[in-house]
Structures are given as structure tokens and as C-alpha cells.
Chains A and B, each alone.
Chain A
Amino acid sequence: MQAPVHHVVGLTSIIRERLLPISGTVNARLQQKVSPNDVVAETRWAREHVLLDVAQLLKVSPEAAERLIKCKVGDEIPASSEIAIGKGIFPRVARTPRDGRVVAVGGGQVLMEAGESKMELRAGIPGTVIQIIPNRGVVIQTAGALVQGVWGNGRIDSGLLVNLMETPETVLTVGRLDVSLRGSVILAGMVKDEETLQAAADLPVRGLILSSIFPSLLSKAREMRYPILVTDGFGSLPMNSAAYKLLSTSAKREVTVNAEVLDRYSGARPEVIIPLPISSDPAPPNDVETLIPGLTVRMRRPPAMGMIGSIVAIKPGLTTLASGLRAPAAEIKLENGDTVIAPLVNLEVVG
């Protein structure tokens, strides 16, 4: 059976597609060196759409309204303009409620887009543009250490990594945050209160890397202007040993926290990237691996949720679990020496 790979790797090639959600303009050039905050593409879109039911406004049938509508797709129309006039001595008039552009006309209705928003797509990682995707974005390649997380607040930034975690179970409190941390990315452990998130914003920091966060703090975390990346999950979970080891030994290095929101469809995940100098490009990591004995895996659900271990054996056929369910399973030797049986579907490969 194949399992997804949760990347925690010391040196690898990292290739990331950065795409606009809709068509736009690509600013970057092929082979251009970019830093995480560089705008590589931008686009504009309507802030809102207004549907004018002309047939209803003029009290006529959709077919009749169709003949009375004076505007066409693409017209830029100012507010209060007449777009259709009824018949009779005192005809009813359909007017535009605000400035806008006509995007569709049909069925006795007019659809307009109004207002404009600008979206800038940032590189997200430091590296080289290796491909331009016309009107949509770029593909960027870099090399370095990669630590993926499970939750991100949608922000990106980079800075010097400062380690405030003595152990994987460390809890970050307001008292640990002082002015010397301004402009740093903090390896922080668990966060259990809003005050700590706010204190980090007040400094301000350039990012928080957390092992876990209370679900009740997620809306506050989304409001923060700095990136927050969670490596392991929700509640009071310690950081998995692989991520802790790699991050805690990378203190004082420049790191990028791309706290992208997890998107199962596009494959986007929150991640910490630590660029490293290389002489030749290392191989990119696999996104899926076949589960075999000896492979390092992480437990995604109880028992031993979040712990890392290695596969001792894949059980033949179906195994009856403690819950009573029968599923393909493996025997896992955990780092603490315990051995557990876990369904294959609850495992992810670490590497």
C-alpha cells in the first residue's frame, strides 16, 4: 500500500508551483533569483457582482426584456445609467445601482461586476524561477531543508530562526517573548492562550513555528499578520522528534515560513524552508512511498498519535484493531521502544 510522505528532510530540492487563482500578469522572468516576498505575478478581479433582473424591474417577460436591454457585454457603465426602458406613456426604467462592467446579458437579466481588488502573488520561497506558466504564475526551485506542517494561517515571511524550545513539549508563554526576538522566526512549541499570539504580533516577530495550538485560538491565529505554522496538530501535542531535531539544530539560520493553508486538491501545505548552499542539485523527495518494513512513519491517529516509529512488519490480510475494526495494518516500533499495531491508512511516511 502507498502512503503520503510528510516531508521532514535535511537537504532536498524543493520545486513549488506558485499560481494565481485566475488569469493575470506574470512579473518574473525565467532564471530570475527571487526572495520569498518578491511579487511574481498579479491580477485584479471584481469585488462584487450585481445581477439586475431587467424583466422583473420592467414587469415584462424575459423575452421582451431581452429586446429592451441597451447594454452589451464589456460595456463600462456609470452608476444610475439607463440600461433598459419599458414601453408606454410612463415607462419603467432599469438603472445600474453603481459603476461597473457588463459581464453577461441573457434571459432578461444583466450581470455586472463592480469594484476592483488587486492580488499580488509572492514567491513564497527563495530560489530560481525555472518555468513561467503564462498568465498564471511560475515554478520556483531551491535547495535546502524542508519541514512540512499540518496547519498554516496563510501568511509568508522569513527571518532568523530563534529556538525557544528546550524540549518538544515546551509551551510558549508571554513571559518568554522579549524585544530581542523582534524580527525573528521563533521555534516556539505549544501555544495555549491568545495573549501569547498578540504579544508576538506586538514585537513583531516574523513567524511562529508551533507544535500544536488550541482549536479555540485558530480564528485569532488567522488574524495575525505574521505566519504561524503548526507542525503536529491541535490541542496539546509535542513536536514530532524529526521536526524538532531538524529545526532546533537550525537556529540562527535564515528560514522562510510559508504558512500556506493546507489544500488537498492542489497539494499545497504549510512548510518551513531553510535554504542551504549546494554544489549540485539534490534529488527532490517523493510525495508517496510504498509502505515496507524499515520505513520511518508517523502515527496520524491514536494509538501514539504524532509519534514517529519504524515499520517492523506489514501484517498479512486484515488485522482486528483494538476498536474492533478490521483493516490492513502494520507493527510499528516507536521511538520510546513500545510496539503498536496501527492501520496502514493511519500512517504517513516521514522523509
Chain B
Amino acid sequence: MVVNIRKRQIKGVDALDLWSGGHILPTAYAMGRMVRFLAKVYGSQKGILSVDLGASAAVIAAGFKDKSTLKVLPQFGLGENLSSLTGHTTLEDILRWSSLDISSGVLRDYLYHKSLYPSAIPATKEDLAIAQAVARQALYLAMQSARRDFPQHIARIKPNLTPLFEPILAGGGALSDASRPGQSLLLLLDSIQPVGITTVILDQNNLLPLLGAAASQNNILPVQVLESGAFLSVGTVVSPVVSSKYGTSILRAKLIYENGVEAKVELKYGSLETLPLAIGETGKLSIQCLHGADIGFGPGRGGTIPVSGGALGVVFDGRGRPLDLPGDPVRRRELIKKWNWTLGGG
């Protein structure tokens, strides 16, 4: 039905359908198919999450052991529908994510202008700050909406938090527009608010739906592309669930590299930390949880796990779940800048 609607709307879809032998598929459906496939391949207790934040819609596909869900949310797309985003959120809630002091009037004008030119990209720092703030809020709302469809009996740390996922795949214009992987990662951490230990993979070239569409014709191709390095591994993220005072130590970690060298980090509540581990490298990560912090092994329980490298290595997010941003705008903007800086987002 979707394909037929698009055929009426867009010239040339007919021809594409003919060329593909009638195998043309909606992007979201193809993405959902890949997530179902990956959930079967990984077969872990945790789910697999794929988010695509594009101009036409926010798409959230989640694959669990027994069930997969696919949610297409055009109201949170960052293109033509952007001007109606204020029907689902407030300008203040969008601006809380901004690292720059931007007025609500400027933001409102941005939303309407961007809906006229969905393909335009941010060329100035202010435009980028607004674009990133809007993307965060849109993805945050999309996740809140998608979570209602997740099955009841899945691996979670707390019922009101994001379930445990491994890995998280992310794509779409808003994420590939970010100038550095750190910017994309922080956007994902803020909006998805993953918990426990997960790997974040960026689909910078939006290949996942293509692989889903190709899978019916060539079922080896998706596996070959997935293993080819076409996706960017951003890193392993450790997000403990804990309630503590700002600045309190909540986790100690030691990373042992393949060559035996060790690196240590102490994570304080409210901060982000990283340990370098380049793409292609592996290591052993030992984690000691303090003050009842839970990384998916139970409150206060640590452990040792093998980890793979990524653009940002191993990232520790000690900002708490759910993420509670400071009410004071000046302090909040300073913190956002600091977090951006820590992840190399500039």
C-alpha cells in the first residue's frame, strides 16, 4: 500500500519498481527486516535496537528473542513535518538540549524554515546547535513512544528505563550530519538513554534498509556488508543505573589491552569518561560498581567482559538514568559543552 501511495506521489517510483522486479520496499520495513534478522543471529538475552532519524520520519526498530517491533513516527521526522513538532513538545523542552543560548523565537523560525528545505544542512555553529537540539528531542520523544510497544518480559534494569540492548544501530540524516562521531554518540546517549553495557554502531551511509531490501534476493549479501567495516563502530558504552550525588565515584574500570597494557578510569556521577580502544582492537574490561550502581549484572555487581574497539573506544556515561539536566540554563549549557568536549564533539 505504501509503495502504491509513493508511486502516485513521486514520479519515477514506477520505473524503480519495474527495475527491481516488483521488490521495492518501504525503507522502514526493510530496516525492520534487518533488525529481525540480526536479533536471530545474535540471539542474546538483550534486544537489538535500530534508530533512523531522517527527514520523513523517526523509525525505531527493536528485535527481541521472541518479538520484534517497528514504529514509524512521521511526526518526529526532521523534514517537512518539523513545523508541527511543537504540537508534541514545547520549545523550552527542545532548547534544554542546546549548548548555545538560543531564543525560542529563533528556534520557532528554524523549525518552519527547515520544513521548507529539509535537505539543507547546518553551516553555522548556531544552526548546528539548534539542529542537534531538535534531533535530540525528536529522537527522545520517538523512543518514549516506541517503548510502549516493547514486550513486557525483556531484559531491563528498571521498568521505567530503556531496556538492555546490544548493539544499538543508528542512522539517518541527523546522525550522519554530525561533524564528529562524538557528536552523534552524545545525541544518542541523550535521547535513547541506553543502560548497562552496549555497543553503538553508526550506519553513516544508511545501508541497513538497503541490506534489508536486498536480503530477499541475496541472503548472504547483508552478512558480507555487515562484516565489511561499512558501519562505523563508535564504541562500547557503559551506562550504570545509580542515584547519587554529583561528583560521587560510582564506578571503577580497568581496561587490559591485547599487549597487556592497562588503563584505568574512575567514573563520577554526572560525568562522562572515555578509555581509548581503536577500531579493530580488543581488550578485557573489568568493572567495579560502587554505591549500588547497576550495569546489568545486578546492583553493585561488577564483572569482566571482552570489549571491541571503536572510534571513541570505551565510553562511560555516569550522568544517571533517566538523564536529569540541571534547571539552571547557564550551568546546563556549560555541562553540555563539557560533555561534548569529553567525547571529542567540539
Contact = CB atoms under 8 A, between A and B. Distances in A.
A associates with B: yes
Interface of A: 150-151, 215-216, 218, 233-235, 262, 264-266, 300-303, 305, 321-327, 341-343, 345-346
Given A233-B113, A264-B80, A301-B113, A324 B123 contact: no
A303 B123 contact: yes
A234 B126 CA distance: 18
A69 B117 CA distance: 51
Given A235-B109, A345-B120, A324 B180 contact: yes
Interface residues of B, number: 27
Contacts of A305: 113
Contacts of B17: none
Interface centre among A151, A322, A341, A343 (most CB of B within 10 A): A322
A323 B122 contact: yes
B128 A301 contact: no
5 contacts: A233-B112, A233-B116, A235-B108, A321-B122, A323-B123
Contact of A301 (B83, B108, B111, B120): B120
Given A233-B112, A235-B109, A264-B80, A300 B179 contact: no
A96 B180 CA distance: 62
Nearest to B183: A324
B14 interface: no
A239 to B, nearest CB: 16
B105 interface: yes
Contacts of A346: 117, 120-121, 123
A216 B116 CA distance: 16
Given A265-B9, A265-B10, A322 B112 contact: no
B180 A215 contact: no
Interface in B109-163: 109, 111-113, 116-117, 119-128
Contact of B123 (A218, A235, A265, A322): A322
A301 B117 contact: yes
Contact of B127 (A234, A302, A327): A302
Nearest to A319: B123
A150 B80 CA distance: 13
Nearest to B118: A264
Which 3 residue pairs are nearest across A and B when measured between Cβ atoms? Answer: A324-B179, A235-B109, A323-B128
A233 B122 CA distance: 17
A342 B177 CA distance: 15
A300 B117 contact: yes
